Homo-oligomer: A and B are copies of this chain.
Amino acid sequence: MSLGSIAEDLGLSKATVSWVLSGQGDSRRISPATQKKVRDYVREHNYQPNMLARSLSLGVTKTVGLLISSLADPFYSSIAKSVVEEAEKYGYTVMISSSESDHDREAALVDSLNRRRVDGFIVTPTEGAAWLDEYVAGGGNLILVDRPVPGSSIPYVGVDNEQSSYRLVSHLIGKGCRKIAIFTTAHNLVNMQARHEGYLRALKDAGIEPDEKLIRNVASAADQQMIETELSALLADVPDLDGIFFTTHVLVVPTYVYFSKVDKMDEGGNRWACIHSLPEFEILLPRMSIAQMNIARVGASAMDMLVAQIEQGIAPKESKYIIECEMKLR
């Protein structure tokens, strides 16, 4: 079924049907009777207009591409969820795809989405992807999420990594902790750097000398063996360790398991603090302090900014939009 066939069945022109359906019936002064006829027909036959034709004609698809690093990772799929929800409010459809941290894949996905003429992109960048600056230079609409691209001025939405870390570590200090380890992974990522800086600033403000022995980095958060080795070295080097700041939630459960094993767990994680969390933490570690990222707001804000850019050509004044973490200090 098409506009044409409807027009034919109803003895009208395609134009008339189109005006009615696009809500311009009144302003075009089409008779109420005709309008009703069209609307009834459409409802009865459950006509679904062909958006391909519509978009081709309009030059706009009301579609945005979302590129995340990983689909199976709840962190990214939660971002996707919030982006989709916000997009709906504006009548946009989101085409979700994941690069799985593969550059070639990412490039192919971008091309594919461009061929489908998306109106813009939201991207959690895979290291310094080259196409980003090019795309923006070519007039493309693009918002970065989670990670900024250092040195680029592409609009970006993220969380206050440095400040949240500062507050968590300060909170531990307030509890009397003096030998607080920082346990981190992927240490060279820009977000991890910011968290490390927050840790150092909190120590400094409390007049505590940073200690190299308390700084622990593992290459992979998935390698339990490697984590246990690192932790056992930590316990050996710092027998009077009295707190841990985790730069990411993924390191917590492995540490929990090891500390339980060697009988070093404190009461419910009372002297632990962590950026972000998982549902099970409330059960396993009810006393751990947490800076909970507001993923929903991050995604929604990114979408807001993108729509503003697409529809009003507004590049945000501030190219960085930082959303505060929700602090659960306990």
Interface residues of A (CB under 8 A from B): 48-53, 55-56, 61, 71-74, 77-78, 80-81, 84, 93, 95-98, 111-112, 114-117, 222, 224, 253-254, 257, 279-280, 282-284
In the complex, which of the residues B52, B117, B254 contacts A283, with contact meaning CB atoms closer than 8 Å? B254
Shortest beta-carbon distance, A327 to chain B, in Å?
22
Query: Does B71 contact A77, Cβ atoms closer than 8 Å?
Result: yes
- Contact (A98, B116) CB under 8 Å given A48-B111, A52-B61: no
- Distance (whole angstroms) from the CB of A38 to the closest CB of chain B: 17
Q: Which residues of B contact A279 (CB under 8 A)?
A: 222
For the complex, would chain A's binding face be called helix, strand, loop or mixed by DSSP majority?
helix
Whether A93 and B95, one on each chain, are in contact in the complex, defined by CB atoms closer than 8 angstroms, is: yes
Instruction: Give the oligomeric copy count.
Output: 2
Chain B residues whose CB sits within 8 angstroms of the CB of A254 once the complex forms: 283
- Assess whether B72 is in contact with A98, with CB atoms less than 8 Å apart: no
Is B72 in contact with A72, judged by CB distance below 8 angstroms? no
Report the bound CA distance from A61 to B116 in whole Å: 10
Whole-angstrom distance between the alpha carbons of A71 and B84 in the complex? 10
The distance from the CB of A119 to the nearest CB of chain B, in whole angstroms, is 12
How near does chain B come to A262, taking the closest CB pair, in angstroms?
A: 14
A-B CB contact pairs (8 Å), 17 listed: A48-B114, A48-B115, A50-B117, A51-B115, A51-B116, A51-B117, A52-B56, A71-B81, A71-B84, A81-B98, A84-B97, A93-B95, A93-B112, A96-B96, A222-B279, A224-B282, A253-B280
